[in-house]
Amino acid sequence: MEQIYRIGIDHGYGNIKTAHHIFESGVIERGRASELAGMTVEFEGKFYEIGSTHKEYQMDKV
């Protein structure tokens, strides 16, 4: 039987918040996994580093 997982997030301007974690928004694609990277995710053969960048503040978001 297939299980379905629902993960609620608040994707704010500077942070992503889940029920149990808060981390900086920003995702960078990496060519390979890095031992120095904090949070790395592999998806479809590509590696992504999560939370390493932060958007610049923008006064007018329109």
Q: Where are the domains of the chain?
A: 27-55
pLDDT at 32 over 80: no
**What are the E-state strand segments in 1-62?**
10-11, 15-17, 22-24, 27-30, 39-43, 46-50
Query: In the predicted model, what is the mean pLDDT of the chain?
Result: 76
- Rounded mean pLDDT, 33-55: 74
Q: What is the pTM of this model?
A: 0.46
Residue 24 DSSP label: E
pLDDT at 3 over 90: yes
Distance CA 22, CA 8 (A): 12
